[in-house]
Amino acid sequence: MQAAETARSANRPTNDLTAYDLYLRAYATVWSSARQIPEALHLMEQAITRDPRYGPALAWSAFCCFRLVADGRSKDPEGDRLKGVDFARRALEVAGHDPDILVNAAHALAYFGEDIGAMMALVDRGLALNPNFARGWHVSGNLRLWAGRPDVAIEHSETARRLSPRARVGLSVMTIGAAHLFARRFDKAVPPLLFAIQDYPSHPQSYRFLAACYGQMGRLDEARETLRRLHAITPVVLPSIIPYRNPEHRELYLSGLRLAAGEET
């Protein structure tokens, strides 16, 4: 482990050791809990202040901004959207052949409304550089879901799980559940969404998909209970940005949530 860390340190894309230390602390914080993302962003921004061309910190800052808005935890969604887009574009300027930077920047930009085809191409470029990049396959699955291709989203998410079976799997499993929802395979959507919540209980989006699925199935008591659990995490039932480009998928999702909330469709 010491040898691996020494090699990693030698290859760090910054000469500022303090910036590197801030980045490592932020990276660990990102994955500790969805509630810790504001702290992770704060640390990443400190690293960027010390080294404005620190590609990984820029890309992960863009990711943090995306998650704040998507999770409904942003105090200023439009401000965080603008920050996220700026961080992502600056990251791409220095990305070179780093698949992690390419994938994280594309993920944020796709969420914030950039052309989904162009962003999928960026992720594909990252995967061409490293075909065994599990997170790249996860993001590719997410972008295919947003683009309206649920079966491809499932395929790419399963690839991510196969490449990294010990990693936290909740987010990839959530994508699989959401893809089944959009394909109207409601019975198949429920088990992975329940698993995603169990694996990553602080992540709000799994609750939203599950409530929408229960709503579409007419299981309204379970839908309302899922929304109650969502409210314990965030007061925001729907974030300010909905990234699903397929109008039918958007309406299926929104109408399911309206049914869960007891509203008329």
The reported pLDDT for the residue numbered 12 is 62
Residue 129: Cβ within 10 Å count: 16
In the chain, the amino acid numbered 123 is: V
End-to-end CA distance of the chain: 56
The answer as to whether 4 is a domain residue is no
The answer as to whether 94 is a domain residue is yes
Of 131, 155, 181, the last residue of a domain is 131
Of 131, 156, 186, the last residue of a domain is 131
The reported pLDDT for the residue numbered 183 is 98
- Closest-CA residue to 112 (of 91, 88, 135): 88
- Closest-CA residue to 64 (of 90, 26, 103, 17): 26
Q: How far lies 78's CA from each of 28, 83, 85, 239, in Å?
A: 26, 9, 11, 11
The answer as to whether 222 is a domain residue is yes
Residues 93 and 171 in one domain: no
Residues 183 and 264 in one domain: yes
Residues 262 and 209 in one domain: yes
The answer as to whether 137 is a domain residue is no
The reported pLDDT for the residue numbered 130 is 95
Residues 124 and 26 in one domain: yes
The reported pLDDT for the residue numbered 7 is 45
CATH number at 169 reads 1.25.40.10
Residues 126 and 179 in one domain: no
The answer as to whether 139 is a domain residue is no
Residues 114 and 178 in one domain: no
**Cα distance between residue 129 and residue 56, in whole Å:** 16
pTM of the complete model = 0.91
The answer as to whether 7 is a domain residue is no
Residues 115 and 188 in one domain: no
Residues 201, 25, 134, 81, CA torsion sign: positive
Counting the structural domains of the chain, the total is 2
The reported pLDDT for the residue numbered 11 is 52
The reported pLDDT for the residue numbered 34 is 78
The reported pLDDT for the residue numbered 171 is 85
**Cα distance between residue 146 and residue 244, in whole Å:** 4
The reported pLDDT for the residue numbered 1 is 37
The reported pLDDT for the residue numbered 13 is 75
The answer as to whether 259 is a domain residue is yes
265 residues of the chain, pLDDT tens digit each = 344 434 444 456 788 899 999 999 999 898 777 789 999 999 999 999 999 999 999 999 999 999 999 999 999 999 999 999 999 999 999 999 999 999 999 999 999 999 999 999 999 999 999 999 999 999 999 999 999 999 999 999 999 999 987 776 668 999 999 999 999 999 999 999 999 999 989 999 999 999 999 999 999 999 999 999 999 999 999 988 999 999 999 999 999 999 999 864 3
For residue 241, the enclosing domain spans 165-265
Residues 254 and 184 in one domain: yes
Residues 120 and 34 in one domain: yes
